Structures are given as C-alpha cells and as structure tokens.
Amino acid sequence: MHYIIDGHNLIGRCRTIRLGDADDEAQLVRYLHRWVLRNHRHRITVIFDGGVYGHPQSLEPPGVRSIFAYSPQDADTRLIKLIKQVEEPRQYRVVTSDRSVAAAAKARKIEVISAELFASQLEQPTPPKRTHQRGRPQPEPKLSKAEVDRWLKEFGVSEDEPPNSKQ
C-alpha cells in the first residue's frame, strides 16, 4: 500500500510535533519511517508546503519520500496533481483532513484517512518485541528436596558449605 500524506496537515494534528518547530518536517519523517518499519510493504510519499532548501538532514529514509511544494505551487495543489496521476487507486491511501484534497482522492476512489486518526496511530508507542513463547511465561520448575540433594552431590557441594568455598 502506498500512502500519500499531507505533511503539514498531519503535523497540525500530532500531539508531539508543533508546526512552529524548526525541524517539524524532520520529526514527522522520523515518525513515518518508524511506522513504515512496523508496517512492512507500505510506502509513504509526504508533501510539505515550503520548506528549507538544502535541508541538512536526509528527509528520505527507506520507505519515505519527501516532497516540498515550493512557490508558486502549494502542497494541496501538488497533492491533487499527484492523486490525479495515480494509476492503481486501490493501492493508495491519502492522509489528510483538507476537504479539497480528500474530495480529489474520493473522486479517484482512493481511501481517505483523516489526519487525526493517522496521527493517533503514528504516535502510539512501538509495541515490545514478541518472544518466541506463546501465552504467559512459565514459572520456574520447583525441585524437591531429594532432587536438590542429588544435584548438590553431583557437583560435589555440601549443603553446609557455601558454593564458592572450594577452589
């Protein structure tokens, strides 16, 4: 699935990024990259208004393409143009809360996801890695007194002496 994202529209709906931040675009791209890593087989094209020429950081990590719509084009115009060029609408989703962009996507039968909804998914903490065990962790097995005595004898340890006293 390929996501086309209205960048500044999405930033405006995020809790942890502010449009006034000097690196708001870079912050969003980092979030998007983490999202792509969690959601394999998805790609993202994010379009921003304006931006800084010669940005010092790479804003194109694997799976994320960043486009800056410089004058005289704004991001909405660029988004709509990109939406009209989509060859397989079922393979795309558009993330925006802008009515004109959403209308262009719907006209092409491209699913629209609100920026609010996508921001909430984007800012969810990364789930912990799964272990190979299924279900609850199993408790340590309990050994009987006889089993403990047998193992102590096997390793030549007396119950009365500390384990590290023989050297």
136 lies in a domain? no
Contact 102, 5 (CB under 8 A): no
Is position 96 within any domain?
yes
Residue 49 corresponds to which tokens in the numbers above?
Answer: 């208004």
| Residue 147 in domain | no
* 44 assigned to some structural domain: yes
What pLDDT does 69 receive?
83
The phi-psi region of residue 69 (left if phi > 0; otherwise alpha if psi is between -120 and 50; otherwise beta) is beta
Low-confidence stretches of the chain (pLDDT < 70) are: 51-58, 71-73, 126-138, 158-167
pLDDT at 164: 59
Give the residue numbers spanning the domain of 57. 2-122
State the pLDDT at residue 84: 96
In a domain? residue 88 = yes
Residue 28 domain flag: yes
Q: Whole-angstrom Cα distance, residue 131 to residue 159?
A: 36
Q: Which residue has the tokens 């993202």?
A: 44
User: Looking at residue 84, which CATH number applies to its domain?
Assistant: 3.40.50.1010
pLDDT in tens, 64-73: 999 888 765 6
- Tell me if 149 is assigned to some domain: no
Structure pTM? Answer: 0.71
In the chain, the number of structural domains is: 1
Asked whether residue 16 is assigned to any structural domain, the reply reads yes
b or e along 6-42 (b: 16 or more beta carbons within 10 Å of the residue's beta carbon)? bbbbbbbbbeebeeeeeebbbbbbbbbbebbeeeeee
